[in-house]
Amino acid sequence: MNVLEIKGSLFDLLSEVKDKEGLLKIREFIIEFINQRKEGDKDWWDELSGEQQSQLRKSIEETERGENLIPHEEVMQKIEDKFKSIAK
C-alpha cells in the first residue's frame, strides 16, 4: 500500500466507527502521534533534569514493587473536591 492507499483505508476504517466518544479518543491518539513527530527523534529521557529523572525512576521502581499506589477513583474524588471549592 502506498501512502494514499493507507490514508484511504484509515478513512474507511474510521467511517465504521459510529460513536462520538470513540472517535474523540482516536482523534486524541492521532494528535499525540502528530505532536510526537514534531518533537523529533531525541529521547525525552535525556531532556529531563537529574531531579526529574530521579523522581521518575523512583516512581517506576515503586510501581514495579506495587508500592504507594493510589486508586484512580480516590484521586478523581480529590480532584472533584478541589474543583468544587474553586466553583464556590
Cell of 85: 471549592
What is the total count of residues that contact another protein (CB under 8 A)?
A: 38
Q: Which residues from 65-84 bind another protein, rule CB under 8 A?
A: 68-72, 75, 78-79, 82-83
CB of 71 vs another protein, minimal distance in Å: 6
Task: Report the phi/psi class of residue 17: left, alpha or beta, with left for phi > 0 and alpha for psi in -120 to 50.
Answer: beta
- Contact indicator for 24, 33 with CB cutoff of 8 Å: no
> Per rule CB under 8 A, is residue 86 in the interface with another protein?
yes
Residue 34 half-sphere exposure toward CB, CA atoms < 13 A: 6
Rounded Cα gap, residues 42 and 45, in angstroms:
9
> Per rule CB under 8 A, is residue 9 in the interface with another protein?
no
> Per rule CB under 8 A, is residue 15 in the interface with another protein?
no
Q: Which residues bind another protein (CB under 8 A)?
A: 24-25, 28-29, 32-33, 35-36, 38-39, 43-45, 48-52, 55-56, 58-60, 62-63, 68-72, 75, 78-79, 82-83, 86-88
